[in-house]
Chains A and B, each alone.
Chain A
Amino acid sequence: MAIADRAPLLTIDGVSLRARLARAERSRKLKALGLILPLFLFVLITFLIPLGRMGYKSVVNEETFGRLDHTNQALSEWDGQSVPDEAAFAALAADLKAAQEQRQAGEIAKRINYEYAGAISKFKSITRTVSKMETGPYKEVFLEADKVWGDPRLWRTIRNASGHYTSYYWLSSIDLRHGAEGLESVPPDQAVFVDVYGRTFWIAGVVTVLTLILGFPVAYLLATQPAHRANLLMIFVMLPFWTSLLVRTTAWFVLLRSEGPLNDLAEMIVNQRFEMIFTRFGTIVAMTHIQLPFTLLPIYSVMKNIPPSHVRAARSLGAGPFHAFWKVYFPQTVPGIAAGCLLTFILCLGYYITPALVGGPRDQMVSYYVAYYMNNIINFGQAAALGAILLIITMVLYWAYNKLVGIDKMKLG
Chain B
Amino acid sequence: MSKLPLLGLPPYASTQERVWRLFFYIFCGLVLLFLISPILIVIPISFNDSKFLSFPRDVWSLRWYEDFFFNDRWTTAVKNSVIIAFFSTILSTTLGTIAALGLSRPNIPFRAAIMAVLISPMIVPVVITAAALYFFYANPLMLPGESNIILNNTYVGVILAHTLLATPFVVITVTATLTGFDQSMIRAGASLGAPPTLVFRKVILPLISPGVISGALFAFVTSWDEVVVVLFVGGTEQRTLPRQMFSGIREMISPTITAAATVLITIAVLMLVTVELLRRRSERLRGLR
Q: Do A and B bind each other?
A: yes
Residues of A within 8 A of B (CB): 25, 28-29, 31-40, 42-43, 46-51, 53-54, 57, 214-215, 217-218, 221, 231, 233, 235-240, 242-255, 257, 259-261, 289, 292-293, 321, 346-347, 349-350, 352-353, 357, 366-367, 370-371, 374-375, 380, 383-384, 387, 390-391, 394-395, 398-399, 402, 406-408, 410-413
Bin chain B's interface residue count: 35 or more
Of the candidates A39, A410, A411, the one whose C-beta lies within 8 Å of that of B96 is A39
A221 to B24, CA, bound (A): 9
- B59 partner residues in chain A, CB cutoff 8 A: none
What residue of chain A has the Cβ atom nearest to residue B225's Cβ? A244
A398-B108 CB under 8 A given contacts A374-B134, A412-B173: no
Interface residues of B in 162-215 (CB under 8 A from A): 163-164, 167, 169, 171-173, 175-176, 179, 214
Chain B's interface: helix, strand, loop or mixed, by majority? helix
Residues of B within 8 A of A (CB): 13-14, 17, 20, 24-25, 27-28, 31-32, 34-36, 38-39, 41-42, 45, 53-55, 95-96, 98-99, 101-103, 105, 107-109, 112, 114-121, 123-129, 131-136, 142, 160-161, 163-164, 167, 169, 171-173, 175-176, 179, 214, 218, 221, 224-225, 227-228, 231-232, 242, 245-246, 249-250, 257-258, 261, 264-265, 268-269, 271-272, 275-276, 279
CB atoms of B171 and A39 under 8 A apart: yes
CB atoms of A32 and B39 under 8 A apart: no
Known: A250-B257, A407-B115. 5 other contacts (CB 8 A): A238-B276, A240-B36, A366-B125, A380-B135, A407-B112
A36 to B118, CA, bound (A): 9
Of the candidates B96, B107, B135, B179, the one whose C-beta lies within 8 Å of that of A54 is B135
Give the number of A-B contacts (CB < 8 Å): 270
CB atoms of B103 and A289 under 8 A apart: no
A411-B264 CB under 8 A given contacts A245-B225, A350-B125: no
A239-B36 CB under 8 A given contacts A34-B102, A254-B53, A261-B41: yes
CB atoms of B167 and A25 under 8 A apart: no
Q: What's the minimum C-beta distance from A77 to chain B, rounded to whole angstroms? A: 31
A214-B34 CB under 8 A given contacts A53-B132, A350-B125: yes
A183 to B225, CA, bound (A): 44
